[in-house]
Amino acid sequence: MTSVGIFGAGQLGRMLALAGYPLGLRFRFFDPQASPPAAALGTHVRADYDDLDAVARFAGGVDVVTFEFEDVPLAAVGAAADRVPVHPAPPVLAALQDRWDERQLLRRVGLPFAPCAPAAAAAEVSAALDQVGLPAVIKRRRSGYDGRGQRVVRSRAAALRAWHELGAAPVIVEALQRFRRELSIIGVRGRDGAVRIYPLAENHHHRGILRRSLAPAAAGAVLQATARRYVRRLLQALDYVGALTVELFEVDGGLLVNELAPRVHNSGHWTIEGAETSQFENHLRAVLGLPLGDTRPRGAAAMVNLIGAPPALPAVLGVDGVHLHLYDKPARPQRKLGHVTVYAADRRRLVPRLAAVERLIGGPPGRRTLHP
């Protein structure tokens, strides 16, 4: 019986396990929290990440280790890697834990991104603004997700305030981009170097949190091909094994890379029902050295996050094409409690179903229209 160890037992670990049982896998999770979402689906090793003895116990009985979030402390990942293969590999994870290192990687690989500069002192923030201009975004180099750890600033004074609010930690200062829309693409690379890439998803955020993804995104062949080229280049440059998510801005003249996530991603949840093989199954296939599955979409899908309050279940399930995914988390404001995937044979049929669902659970506030 093949056994997979996962750092983190949140919803991503939960969905990895749900995808993995049909492959005959068993799961062990490392997570310091009590009763995390994945705990019911495997063995839960509850310990802090700096407890390397616990990490050794965790890694001891499994065939491969992976992770559901990119901020796993490198010492823990290293302790696991002393015992079993870890995918994506520790050096890859290290390269993607720091936003400035990530930008260096993009530069090396030749992918476009917004002008930016690092800063670790007030004077450096000022110097960085000279370079990138205003408005700008100040982002902590480490440990940011769902819009945390970053601030949009429109003046030098605001920039310095923001930097202090972010803990006066090392940051990058980035020119704020005017973009048409936010897109993302997920590529998966196997141990043998084979690559499979999902189509682009279009993502709608509100207050820094993903609210809705539409997939496949309405996007021409050139845009799709460009995005595919970007993710493929990264996968190869990193000798990557597993799923890699590239968040993109569509701007006049093409695509800018916004962030990389070395893992399955919220903007890929639609693949459970909307693609031939889900991102979760393909990540597992990759880290286990199995052939990758077909990433082609089936029909049209929309993913809507359930944030902060549980939805009225019977009403939501009463809409045809709705697939519910609850994470077994206590409700809390701004917390992702689950998501709904709405499926239809094509985008035209999807629009009324999505509208019906969002009337029930609340979609992202207004401005975006759905172009069928």
Q: Which residues bind a copy of itself (CB under 8 A)?
A: 1, 14, 18, 21-24, 26, 40-42, 276-277, 285, 289-291, 293-294, 298-299, 313-314, 317-318, 320-326, 328, 338, 343
Q: What minimum distance in Å lies between the beta carbon of 266 and a copy of itself?
A: 15
Q: At what angle do helices 279-287 and 11-20 cross, to 10 degrees?
A: 70
Q: Count other Cβ atoms within 10 Å, centred on residue 160.
A: 17
Q: Which two tokens stand for residue 50?
A: 């700096």
In the complex, minimum distance from the CB of residue 284 to a copy of itself, in angstroms, rounded to a whole number: 11
d(CA 198, CA 81): 29
**CA–CA distance, 342 with 215 (Å, rounded to integer):** 10
Residue with Cβ nearer a copy of itself (242 or 338): 338
Q: Cβ closer to a copy of itself: 186 or 248? A: 186
How many of the other CB atoms lie within 10 Å of CB of 20? Answer: 24
Rg (CA), the chain: 20
Smaller CB distance to a copy of itself: residue 170 or 299?
299
Contacts of 253 (CB under 8 A, 6+ apart): none
The distance of closest approach from Cβ of residue 330 to a copy of itself in the complex, given in angstroms and rounded to an integer, is 10
Helices (H), 184-320: 221-237, 271-274, 279-287, 313-317
Nearer to a copy of itself, 90 or 299 (CB): 299
Positions of E strands within the chain: 3-7, 26-30, 43-45, 64-67, 116-119, 136-140, 150-153, 171-175, 181-189, 195-197, 201-206, 209-215, 242-251, 254-261, 300-307, 322-326, 336-344
Please say which residue, 148 or 298, places its beta carbon nearer to a copy of itself. Answer: 298
Q: What distance in Å separates the CA atoms of residue 275 and residue 269, rounded to the nearest whole number?
A: 10
Nearest approach, Cβ of 264 to a copy of itself (angstroms)?
Answer: 15
**In the complex, what is the shortest distance from the CB of residue 84 to a copy of itself, in angstroms, rounded to a whole number?**
19
Nearest residue (CB) to a copy of itself, 23 versus 121: 23
- The smaller minimum CB distance to a copy of itself, of residues 18 and 223, is found at 18
Edge-to-edge strand order for the sheet containing 136-140?
116-119, 171-175, 136-140, 150-153
CB of 277 to a copy of itself, least distance (A): 8
Tell me the closest approach of the beta carbon of residue 128 to a copy of itself, in angstroms. 44
Going by DSSP bridges, is the β-strand pair 116-119/136-140 parallel, antiparallel, or unpaired?
A: unpaired
